[in-house]
A and B are shown apart, each in its own frame.
Chain A
C-alpha cells in the first residue's frame, strides 16, 4: 500500500479521477483498465451510483431513439438458441445429478473398436451417464447404440451422437431406465438404431 504524502489534496484528486468518469462509464466510453478502476470506485462512492443510474437511463433513451425493426428471421434464431440452451441446461443438471449421486458407481474399459468407454450409474435413480473418448467415427449409415443388459432382458438405452473426428472431446450420453442388475453394452447398429442388438457388443460395462 502506497502512502500518499499528507500535503497532497489526495481526497480531491480521488474525487476528480472517480466522479468525473460516471459519464464516460455510462456511455461505455472507458477503456477496460479504467472501467475496472471506476467500478471499484463506484462501490465506495456515495454519490456516483445515483449519477450512473441516471446517465444509464439517458443512454437507454439514446438507444431507444435508434430503434429499427429487426429482420423477422432474428426472432426465430434467438428463440431457437434459448430453447437449445434450456435443453442443454436441464441435461447438464441431470448429468450433474447422476455424477454426484450418493450411490454413483463407475466402470471403464477399452472397447474392441478402439478408444475407451466409461459409465457412471446411479442405481437408485436408474440413470447412467456414458462417456467415451477415441471411438472410431462411423459412416453415416451406422450409429453406436447403448443397451441395458440384465435379468429384465436387453433394452435399448440411447443412441450416441457421432464421435468427434479428432477423438479429442468426450461424447456424453444420459440414459435412464437402468435396473438393479443391468450392465451397459454398446453395439454398432444401422443409423436410427434398432430395438434389439444385431451385432456383438464392442464393450460391456458393469458399474459396481
Chain B
C-alpha cells in the first residue's frame, strides 16, 4: 500500500507534532505548550461534539491533554501521526464519559436510550468552516446516507456499533460493513497519509 501525502492544513511551519511529542516524552514543558496550542481546539471541539456539554467537555479535554503529557513516551510514529494519536486519546476519553453517563442514566431512569444523536446533515452543518472541515464535509457528502449515518452515530455520538445497529434497526453485520466501506471511501477521498 502506498502512502498518499496530502497538504495538511493543520500543519503550521515548525517542528511537526510527532517531533514535539518526542520532546514532550522527555518532560519538555515548552514543547508541550506548543503541542497544546496546536491540538487544544481539535481536542476540545471533538470532546464537545461527543458530550454536548461545555463544562463536562472542558473537564474531559483537560484530562485528555494531561494524558498526552503523561503518556507521550508511548507515541510511536511508526503506528500513525501525532495528531491521530492525540485524537484517539481525546475521543476515547469522551466516549468513556458518554457511555458511563448513559449507563448511569439507564440505571436511574431505566430509559433505553439517551439524548438523540444529531442527524447526519446536522453534523455536516455544525462543522466549523475551516479548510479541514470543508474537506471533511465534502467527503462525507460522498458517502451513501446509511454509511454517513453509521459513521457519525459511532464517532460523533459515541455509540458502540451494536447500539448503532439497534438504533437503525439493522443487523450487526450491516453496520460493520457500512462503517468499513464508508471509512475506506473517506480515506480515499481525504487522501490521508497513513
A74 with B80: CB separation less than 8 A: no
Contact among A23, A27, A86 for B27, CB-based, below 8 A: A86
A61 with B155: CB separation less than 8 A: no
Q: Offer 20 A-B interface pairs, CB within 8 angstroms, sorted by A.
A: A23-B182, A24-B154, A27-B183, A28-B92, A28-B155, A53-B80, A53-B84, A56-B80, A58-B187, A59-B84, A60-B87, A61-B192, A62-B186, A63-B45, A64-B10, A69-B44, A71-B44, A74-B44, A74-B62, A78-B62
The reply on B161 being an interface residue by CB < 8 A is yes
The reply on A1 being an interface residue by CB < 8 A is no
Contact among A54, A64, A83 for B187, CB-based, below 8 A: A54
B58 with A63: CB separation less than 8 A: no
Chain B positions 1 through 24: 1 when the CB is less than 8 Å from some CB of chain A, otherwise 0: 100000000100000000000000
A27 with B194: CB separation less than 8 A: no
Chain A positions 67 through 84: 1 when the CB is less than 8 Å from some CB of chain B, otherwise 0: 111110011011101110
Nearest CB in chain A: distance from B161 CB, A = 4
The reply on B117 being an interface residue by CB < 8 A is no
Nearest CB in chain B: distance from A70 CB, A = 4
A26-B183, A29-B159, A53-B194 given as contacts; is B135 within 8 A of A61 (CB)? yes
- Interface size of B by Cβ–Cβ distance < 8 Å? 68
The reply on B146 being an interface residue by CB < 8 A is no
The reply on A4 being an interface residue by CB < 8 A is no
B residues with a Cβ closer than 8 A to A are 1, 10, 27, 29, 32-33, 36, 40-46, 48-49, 54, 58, 61-62, 65-66, 69-70, 79-81, 83-84, 86-88, 90-92, 95, 127-128, 130, 132-133, 135-137, 151, 154-156, 158-162, 164, 173, 175-177, 179-180, 182-183, 186-187, 190, 192-194
- Nearest to B33 among chain A residues (CB) is A79
B194 with A74: CB separation less than 8 A: no
Nearest CB in chain B: distance from A33 CB, A = 11
B46 with A63: CB separation less than 8 A: yes
A67 to B45, CA, bound (A): 4
- Nearest to B93 among chain A residues (CB) is A28
A59 with B88: CB separation less than 8 A: yes
A27 with B42: CB separation less than 8 A: no
A74 with B132: CB separation less than 8 A: no
A residues with a Cβ closer than 8 A to B are 20-24, 26-31, 49-50, 53-71, 74-75, 77-79, 81-83, 85-86
A21: chain B residues at CB < 8 Å are: 176
B1 with A79: CB separation less than 8 A: no
A60 with B154: CB separation less than 8 A: no
A66 with B164: CB separation less than 8 A: no
B128: chain A residues at CB < 8 Å are: 65-68
A67-B41, A79-B33 given as contacts; is B176 within 8 A of A24 (CB)? yes
